[in-house]
Structure 1
């Protein structure tokens, strides 16, 4: 990260600024689009790849985890090979990985391709941001970051509706194939117009810290993804993954605490209360944001029969709510106590989750749209103020390290959140089905003799239809339990706002904070 930020300040040829801007913004959209475009296609992938409901989410978590682990490598790779070369490799690798995702014939194939895609895509957003700063003079950095911010938001907003249309009109493979022309244009533009900035010197990269933390995160994610299928601690595989994660993390902690050289995690970060509180909050935000987006599309398509394109249309407005909020909150930061902005954002998010926890099996599209808009609006009031307050009291020389950990925490929260809610969904559906089935069977009927009536009138097919409805009701209850859990989590972390110290910033600081927020 430090290499990127240092290079962003280096002088650069500003010719072809428009073409470079278009090329790097296409690379940004390429990466951010894939954070949401695959969500609405998950049910279709599940059937095509013969995957279970909980294992199909590996398509999401593998990408997020790979990107999270690989992002801190960006600065070191740029210092060693040059920013332009790393940029070209990243775009080319991401495009090739997208083609491999589209051609996958099994769950294992697409998960491996998504891992490759996440590794290659990890550098795209930070490199795009650095390039935008590099090709614009300092007095235009604010405008450049506004353009960059719009590019970051376009992907998540466009993803659900575009993914739904591609899935309905063609098939789920096109949510990955769509990256090929975008990636090719970005690749040609970067190769033709982007110049290599002057080399910068970076501190030695902490390979041991990076490897041990990466292994710990990867093993933890594997444990969460495989636990339900392997019956958790009754499986030797789960025990090995759990012990491996603990040992690797212990090595990372001991190495970080005892090394005197520059380590992957700078211990000085622990002395800043605002930073530590902000890392906890962004972890929770990652859980809420991505878990909700992972839950809604399968629920709408499997329980309510929504086509993929309608699913995309009713879930996309949440991104529009976030963009709308960010237009307002940018003017309020510095004028209103940041803790009040954060409190409002989390309260709005909790209210939206309360509405989702009250869903019934007779939902209308507006019942999906408005809670999504409110949630997006609430999260929009969290992103910028949270980043601002997290880094407001952090020394400037620690901000590069802090930005890497901040981004890592958000991504890990996202991947863990998706795995946990999907595991709970599978478990609670089974538990609820067993509970409901106790009261509905050929031998013990409800008050109106429902099971007996179905059996006499329709035979085995009637009982199967009744069982399908019980499964649907059990799954609906399980979805509501997940929304309720996220609502409770949002409310529980709100008292941490009392730990935040508000520091009066100098006039030059907001723009610097803005750069970190975009990263």
Structure 2
């Protein structure tokens, strides 16, 4: 195995490990809740703490890599993430679990942008689409299979094993990077903008908390959410003002001069929002409305991962033939098509529409995410790649959080609205509310029959709300096509 191949495998293992942990814990939350004697609201901090820590530390990756060396930071992050994963697995209380998950987010935040930057440097520019396809296979496919793996480990063994699984992966990644990754020279003269970092991290942390907890707290009806919104707006305003006026800023203003980087980052945020929102909506719809067990749901959604892998294998040749902007347009059109297909879902359907739309959506993700990454870094100076990768991945992650929060809120409110609309027609003076149109066990004259009717109305209203969410996501994908007009497609070398 060549040095480049060994480095590719090592950083891919690191990427897969940290990407897997973003979703693998979701299905194990009920088991963790019982294991550490926590309430549903308390156990949610296992996810929130990880997301907030990752959001705070990701922008710092660029400065840390420049100050201490990319290879040294990568090794420290892998070792720290692996060690803290073991501590998460042996945690005995909610406080310990949340504390270790926070540390996991802090160590893991650098792994995604560092692995992306290492692969970009390891391959010549004409092979960057191939490098991004390899990187995306870990960054985008691992979260798809995370719930399936997490459910299997939890059912077969216990929730502790969703963290112990990181030990062999982390050891292999650490060994590969330490043996084959080239050493780089750190820039010890690089100064740290403490004020810029503090304002940015506080603003982003408050914003992530707002997104993660808003759907459970009824958004701005909650005092907590209003405080988080004000804190986020205040510190982000200070950060923007400081960035525009300071001689030395935490955020490198040279990134703002690259139009491709800005537009591609926004597109990646949209794709991340579509990806994460669908990933959150489909399992709950299939289990609560269609009655599928968790394992069957995972099998029905597995074609999404297969579609993504197929896209990753095809993408390099397609970009060479047609250019990244054309392929990105095709990917966004595929995303529009799949969201339209999902907006046609019905309670009477079988698994075939879910499998078909999941595969096409996975293909669309592959055709969207890799070209957006290629365009983002196509004209960026090599010295800015690590910092650019950190910002690019932060924007993508925040886009995913925004997508989940908005669709979940939209789902709850639409369910209530559709329930009221449907319930208006269930009354004694409506001929359709009596036999032969309304048959037992549905009966307006008995308490049990009314309860059955209400349950069915709720089920129908929920399905309409899911369909409305998918239609909204389709419109978001369609609107993102306008961003392509602001990008310049580099001619392949």
TM-score (normalizing by structure 1) = 0.79
Structure 2 counterpart of 1:8: none
Match of 2:53 among 52, 66, 85: 66
Question: In 2, distance between residues paired with 1:20 and 1:337?
Answer: 27
5+ long unaligned stretches in structure 2: none
The Cα of 1:346 is off from its aligned counterpart by 0.6
* Of 243-252 and 198-207, the range deviating more from structure 2: 198-207
Alignment of 1:464 with 2:451, yes or no, is yes
Structure 1 counterpart of 2:102: 115
Report 1:183-194 matches (<5 A). Answer: 183=170, 186=173, 189=175, 193=179
Over 3 Å counting, the alpha-carbon distance change for 1:144 and 1:391 in structure 2 is closer
The Cα of 1:455 is off from its aligned counterpart by 7.3
The Cα of 1:421 is off from its aligned counterpart by 1.4
Structure 1 counterpart of 2:14: 27
Alignment of 1:166 with 2:153, yes or no, is yes
5+ long unaligned stretches in structure 1: 1-13, 508-519
Structure 1 counterpart of 2:294: 308
Question: In 2, distance between residues paired with 1:437 and 1:106?
Answer: 45
The Cα of 1:407 is off from its aligned counterpart by 1.8
Structure 2 counterpart of 1:227: 214
* Of 396-405 and 363-372, the range deviating more from structure 2: 396-405
**Deviation by residue 1:139-181 (Cα, 9 ceiling, x = unmatched):** 9987887765555466245434323433443455543343344
Match of 1:51 among 21, 34, 40: 40
Partners of 2:10 and 2:177 within 8 A in 1: no
Question: In 1, distance between residues paired with 2:8 and 2:331?
Answer: 32
RMSD, aligned α-carbons: 4.0
Alignment of 1:392 with 2:378, yes or no, is yes
Match of 1:340 among 311, 326, 334: 326
Over 3 Å counting, the alpha-carbon distance change for 1:409 and 1:141 in structure 2 is same
Match of 2:162 among 171, 175, 178: 175
Alignment of 1:492 with 2:479, yes or no, is yes
Structure 2 counterpart SS, 1:197: coil
Match of 1:361 among 347, 354, 363: 347
Over 3 Å counting, the alpha-carbon distance change for 1:192 and 1:378 in structure 2 is closer
The Cα of 1:330 is off from its aligned counterpart by 0.8
**Deviation by residue 1:200-231 (Cα, 9 ceiling, x = unmatched):** 21532332222212211221222233334444
The Cα of 1:356 is off from its aligned counterpart by 0.8
Question: In 2, distance between residues paired with 1:72 and 1:209?
Answer: 11
Structure 1 counterpart of 2:359: 373
Question: In 1, distance between residues paired with 2:68 and 2:320?
Answer: 40
Structure 2 counterpart of 1:405: 391
Instruction: Report the count of equivalent residues.
Output: 488
Match of 2:309 among 323, 333, 352: 323
Question: In 2, distance between residues paired with 1:29 and 1:474?
Answer: 38
Alignment of 1:216 with 2:238, yes or no, is no
Structure 2 counterpart of 1:510: none
Over 3 Å counting, the alpha-carbon distance change for 1:355 and 1:38 in structure 2 is farther
Question: In 2, distance between residues paired with 1:491 and 1:270?
Answer: 25
